Amino acid sequence: MAHDDFRSFLAAINASGDSLSIDQQIDWDQELSGIGRLSCERNGPAFMFDNIKDYSGWRIATNPIATWRRMAVAFGLPADTHVRQLYDVYAEREQRPIPPVIVKDGPCKEVVIAGDRVDLFDLPVPMVHEGDGGRYLGTWDLVVSKDARSDWVNWGMYRFMIHNERLLTGFPRPTSHLGKMLLDGYVPQKRAMPIAIAIGCDCLSHLAAAATFRIAGNEADLAGGLRGQPVELVKCETSDLYVPASAEIVIEAEVYPDRVNQEGPYGEYPGYRSGEMGNAICARVSAITHRRDPILTLDTTGFMDSSATSTSISGAIAIRRRLEANAVPVTAVYVPPEGGVHMAIVAVRRGGAEVAQKVLNVLTVRRALISKIIVVDEDVDVFNMAAVVHAFATKCHPGRGIHVTRYQGRANTLTPAYDQEERVARSGASVALDATWPPEWPRDGTPVRATLDSMYAPEVQRRVLERWSALGLK
């Protein structure tokens, strides 16, 4: 069963040996995030910092589910659960959404600060990387917004930076669901859009917020499905939005329909600071509520952060469903976290140029966050990157196997390969690398892979595996 709140998750990863507490004083200005960053790069533990310079009484927890072990614990599974099984569990639970329930009160209301008493510098918001545009409050958050013309409530995970005591700037992309709500429903009416930034909720609610999810879908229902029980929501102090009652901290704000300010640059999930600054949103904070003895959550954004694992799992399932809906003969999809959410491995029953091109078209029609797609035959284990690289290196024709599509207005502006002009125009390209055998090749002329499972008689395979086990090898 999933955890009730972030604190019970912390207790579980502590018990599984996947977290460390640090009680020596640590500087919020780069030092703290530097430790978290190194941990991501070395597949290390989550950290709980109990003693933060300038911020007595506050705690910061880093990179909650940046490893598959911690992701497994978040799902209520043993820490050593294989990633393939995590994908299966996500896909199964995603199909059984559970709507949230409204409660009158919750731990996130233990301390309420509203109006002129609000001061964002009272929160121990770290300077994540040297050279960032400012201090980032929203790195592992859950941002609630509501469509102006329907009941659609969006949860997203978007970055927010402190400008001054009450002003935030943020970068939910214009192609994001929040961006769409703002530009379609509020800006034309010159209305401010209420948002609520919830920090330190149960991990599966954050996973749902970060998920690739359909337009007009309520991620709170998805979170309930992933948890196997409804999320309890409580009403905000200064708007009609509802937030998870167990959140450690909630920032209530209104996005201006007619104001901009500096946002970024920021070292982002692809693993670079790409100079995407200059076009963002600007929000004024109306209230802060938090638990007593609060914990700020921080994803030390960059290579192999929490967004890499969370988008790996939700993105891959979403890709698979979209391909299935478009009659692509897909058998498995993997988004390797090492690819910074820029690469997907797609296995198909029957490959060839036509299928590769179709995969590319389906995955770039609206938003094009993934720009490299390797298409493999179904006998390649998509979770085994050695097997994928082998298939790509040997089966992808260097001329005929490369399929490129270019687009305007929907490219991923965080893709480091794009120049400033492309970033501003949101123009880009995606490529499908076809590592499948052409279906028109006769079976007798198709190369046979020289591996134990392909080039040996079944009886020999059986004997080899028996001897292997008898030798105590895994």
Residues that bind another protein (CB under 8 A): 29, 54-55, 121-122, 127, 129-135, 162-165, 167, 174, 179, 182-183, 187, 255-263, 265, 267, 273-275, 277-282, 420, 424
In the block, tokens 């299928």 appear at 355
Query: What are 354's two structure tokens?
Result: 């036509």
Q: Which is nearer to another protein, 119 or 453 (CB)?
A: 119
Shortest spacing between CB 401 and another protein, in angstroms: 34
Q: Which is nearer to another protein, 127 or 148 (CB)?
A: 127
Shortest spacing between CB 218 and another protein, in angstroms: 23
Q: Which is nearer to another protein, 5 or 263 (CB)?
A: 263
Shortest spacing between CB 182 and another protein, in angstroms: 6
Cβ neighbors of 151 (< 8 A, separation 6 or more) are none
DSSP 134-153: S-EEESSEEEEEE-SSSS-E
For β-strands 372-377 and 428-435, DSSP reports them as parallel
Q: Which is nearer to another protein, 279 or 331 (CB)?
A: 279
CA torsion sign for 161, 165, 166, 167 is: negative
Q: How many CB atoms lie within 10 A of CB 294?
A: 22
Shortest spacing between CB 27 and another protein, in angstroms: 10
Shortest spacing between CB 137 and another protein, in angstroms: 12
Q: Which is nearer to another protein, 107 or 185 (CB)?
A: 185
Shortest spacing between CB 132 and another protein, in angstroms: 6
Shortest spacing between CB 435 and another protein, in angstroms: 34
Shortest spacing between CB 121 and another protein, in angstroms: 5
Tell me the sheet residues that pair with 374. 345, 433
Say what angle helices 83-94 and 306-325 make with each other, to 10 degrees. 60
Q: Which is nearer to another protein, 178 or 223 (CB)?
A: 178
User: Of all helices (H) and strands (E), which one includes residue 60?
Assistant: strand 59-62
Shortest spacing between CB 40 and another protein, in angstroms: 19
Counting Cα atoms < 13 Å in the Cβ hemisphere of 453 gives 4
Q: Cα separation of 300 and 66, whole Å? A: 10
Q: Is residue 264 within 8 Å of residue 280, measured between CB atoms?
A: yes
- SS3 call for 330: strand
Question: Which candidate, 66, 112, 68, places its Cα nearest to that of 86?
Answer: 68
Q: Which is nearer to another protein, 169 or 312 (CB)?
A: 169
Q: Where are the strands (E) in 311-446, listed by range?
A: 330-334, 343-348, 372-377, 402-407, 428-435
Q: Which is nearer to another protein, 103 or 260 (CB)?
A: 260
Q: Which is nearer to another protein, 130 or 453 (CB)?
A: 130
Say what angle helices 306-325 and 203-210 make with each other, to 10 degrees. 50
In the block, tokens 């298409």 appear at 375
Q: Is residue 76 within 8 Å of residue 47, measured between CB atoms?
A: no
Query: What are 185's two structure tokens?
Result: 């429903």
